[in-house]
Amino acid sequence: MQEVKVKILILNYNGKAFLKECLDSVSAINYSNFSVVLIDNASVDSSVEYVKSHYASVKIVETGKNRFFGGGYNYFFKTDSEDCFYLILNNDTIVDKNILRDMIAGANKYGKNNIYGPRIMFSKEKDRIWYAGGKVDLYKGIIKHIDIRKNVKELELRDSVTDYITGCCMLVHSSVVSKLDGFDSSFKMYMEDVDLCMRARLIGSKSYFLSVPFLYHHVSQTVSNKIFRVFLSYLKLSIKYTGARFLFNVPVFIFRKIISK
C-alpha cells in the first residue's frame, strides 16, 4: 500500500547558511512518497543557485519579492491543487529520518482534518525542549510554548490537543489549507501560525502535539526589530479575536514579556 503523499515546504529568505543541514536531513527521510519544495522570497545570498546545483530533486518556487512567512506560503498554495499533506518546515531545522512516518501515523490516528506538530528541540542543547505544545489565552496576555527549555528526559510527553502548532514545523492537509484560504499574510512575521490554528478550530479542526516525531531547531535571536514585530502581531491578533478588549490584553502581554526576560 502506497504511503500518503507529503510535500515538504521550506520557506527561505537569505537562509543559505542553514540549507545544507536542513536539506541533507530532509533527503535522508525514511518515507516513500514525498517531495520537497523550496519557496524562496527573493533571496540575495545565492540560496537558489546553491539549491539548484546541489539538490536537483528540490523544486524551487520563486515568489519574486519578500512576502514574509504567510505571504510566501500562500504564494505556493495558490499554485497547488494536489490532494496531499503539507509539512511546513523552517529552513533552520534538522529533522529526524522518521519524522514523516511518525507524523502521518498521528494523522491516521486522530484524523486528516487536524493540524499536527512534533516535538522540537534546541539544536545546541538537544535534550532541551523548544516546543512541546502551545498555550494561548489572549485575555491574559499569554502566547507561549509549553515546557520550553525543560529537559526532555525529565518529562513524560504524550500526544495532546494543544492551542496552536508552531509554524516551525506543521503538518496540515491541503484541504484544510484551502478551507482556511492559507495564512493571514497581514501579520507579516510572527503569530500567523497561532491565527491559523485559531481559525482552524472554528471550522472543527483541532491542533495536536505529537510526542514521538521530533526535529532540532537553530533558534534565532537576531531578527531585526523582533520585539517590535512580536508586539505588532500580538496587537493584531488581540484586536482580531477580542475586539476592544485589546486595550486591556496588550498591557498584560507586554508586562509578561518584561518579567519573562
Instruction: Kindly report the three-state secondary structure assignment for every residue of 80-148.
Output: CCCCCEEEEECCCEEECCCHHHHHHHHHHHHCCCCEEEEEEEECCCCCEEEECCEEEEHHHCEEEECCC
Query: Three-class SS of residue 222?
Result: coil
Helix (H) or strand (E) holding 61: strand 59-62
pLDDT the model gives residue 133 = 98
- The pLDDT > 90 percentage for the chain reads 87
Instruction: State the pTM of this model.
Output: 0.95
pLDDT digits 0-9 by tens, 92-136: 999 999 999 999 999 999 999 999 999 999 999 999 999 999 999
CA 60, 69, 184, 143 dihedral sign is: positive
What average pLDDT does this structure show over 174-179?
98
Residue showing cell 502506497: 2
